[in-house]
């Protein structure tokens, strides 16, 4: 018996990181199917070794999960780092706000990382930071020059982190800097299963240090705000919290009501106008969805 962490799963095969012993290819025992339990990347497991030379085994048990995400499908996540570019392409703050809500729903802390910071002025960086820095950790990096990457590495230490972000923001370059052997690991798995063409479509954990993992996720282009009652959406915007209970109407949802403290805070600049507009947009989406 040996303990390890699932770092990749493809077509019923799971690849288990066991530290110094290396990577084992395993299948999950039938007991998991009978209990309708599907192992996820990030699960801590025990494996039975079937062939030490070929590094083949079976997953025999899974530790209790700290949490699990659906998109991406991963377990035991400590934090998310979402990467957007400062420019080329311009940051899609609507998409960023959707991601933040998704992580808030799952109780996962998020670090907002703006890459390509060399393309914008200090003033533009300050404007971006001001929108989020009161409630989230905001980091500016340049995967081209290396600026800020040391701090990013420090934030990853002793944690399992999901890295996410749309295509074209420099996520792959950042990962290659953090985990130079990432391509080698992917190749190792591809060779094992002779399915190299599938490897980039699946989420994968890379080990930076023994207790430090990062997961690359496929670039997302859209996210939908789901599984929230429209009246509860306001609780996923931390900047609204100081104003809760100070509006004219109890249970104010901060959209059309008169004498609304949140709307007043938007008017005086205490709450970012774009963030508030995204809130209203998401509220309407949830309202429309409920009709069907």
pLDDT band at 201 (very low <50, low <70, confident <90, very high): low
Among 31-35, 160-164, 275-279, the range scoring the smallest mean pLDDT is 31-35
Residues 205 and 276 in one domain: no
What's 8's domain CATH number?
2.40.50.140
Higher pLDDT, 291 or 214: 214
Residues 79 and 134 in one domain: yes
Residues 49 and 88 in one domain: no
Residues 175 and 266 in one domain: no
Question: What's the whole-model pTM score?
Answer: 0.84
Residues 198 and 111 in one domain: yes
Residues 162 and 198 in one domain: yes
Residues 200 and 242 in one domain: no
Bridging pattern class, strands 160-164 and 212-216: parallel
Asked whether residue 91 is domain-assigned, the answer is yes
**Total domains, the chain:** 3
What's 109's domain CATH number?
3.40.50.300
What tens digit of pLDDT does each residue of 211-223 get? 899 987 776 666 6
Asked whether residue 222 is domain-assigned, the answer is no
Residues 126 and 46 in one domain: no
> How large is the average pLDDT for residues 127-141?
96
Domain boundary among 171, 187, 216: 216
Asked whether residue 26 is domain-assigned, the answer is yes
Q: What is the pLDDT of residue 200?
A: 45
Domain boundary among 216, 251, 267: 216
* C-alpha pair distances (Å), 45 with each of 72, 123, 239, 260: 19, 48, 39, 50
Residues 56 and 182 in one domain: no
Collect all residues with Cβ–Cβ distance below 8 Å to 187 and sequence separation of at least 6. 196
Phi, psi (rounded to 5 degrees) for 241:
-55, -45
> How large is the average pLDDT for residues 260-282?
97
Q: Is a pLDDT exceeding 60 seen at residue 190?
A: no
Residues 86 and 28 in one domain: no
Helix and strand tally (H, E) in the chain? 8, 13
What's 242's domain CATH number?
1.10.40.50
Asked whether residue 224 is domain-assigned, the answer is no
* C-alpha pair distances (Å), 240 with each of 35, 252, 279: 42, 11, 11
Residues 122, 127: Cα–Cα separation, whole Å: 9
Full domain range(s) for residue 92: 69-216
Neighbours of 53 (CB within 10 A): 5
């Amino acid at each position: 018996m040996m303990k390890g962490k699932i770092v990749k799963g493809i077509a019923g095969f799971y690849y288990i990181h066991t530290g110094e012993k290396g990577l084992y290819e395993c299948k999950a025992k039938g007991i998991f199917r009978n209990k309708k339990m599907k192992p996820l990347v990030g699960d801590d497991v025990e494996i039975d070794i079937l062939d030490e030379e070929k590094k083949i085994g079976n997953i025999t048990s899974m530790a209790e999960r700290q949490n699990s995400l659906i998109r991406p499908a991963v377990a035991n996540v400590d934090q998310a780092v979402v990467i957007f570019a400062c420019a080329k392409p311009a940051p899609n703050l609507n998409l960023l706000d959707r991601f933040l809500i998704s992580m808030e729903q799952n109780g996962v802390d998020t670090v907002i990382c703006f890459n390509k910071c060399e393309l914008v002025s200090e003033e533009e960086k300050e404007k971006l930071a001001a929108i989020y820095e009161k409630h989230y950790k905001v980091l500016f990096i340049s995967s081209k020059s290396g600026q800020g990457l040391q701090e990013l590495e420090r934030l990853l230490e002793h944690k399992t982190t999901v890295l996410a972000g749309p295509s074209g923001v420099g996520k792959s370059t950042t990962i290659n800097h953090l985990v130079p052997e990432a391509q080698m690991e992917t190749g190792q798995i591809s060779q094992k299963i002779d399915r190299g063409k599938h490897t980039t479509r699946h989420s994968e954990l890379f080990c930076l240090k023994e207790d430090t993992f990062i997961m690359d996720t496929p670039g997302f282009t859209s996210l939908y705000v789901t599984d929230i009652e429209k009246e509860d959406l306001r609780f996923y915007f931390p900047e609204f919290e100081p104003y809760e209970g100070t509006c004219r109407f109890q249970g104010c949802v901060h959209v059309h009501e008169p004498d609304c403290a949140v709307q007043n805070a938007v008017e005086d600049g205490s709450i970012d106008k774009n963030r508030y507009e995204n809130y209203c947009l998401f509220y309407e989406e949830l309202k429309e969805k409920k009709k069907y």
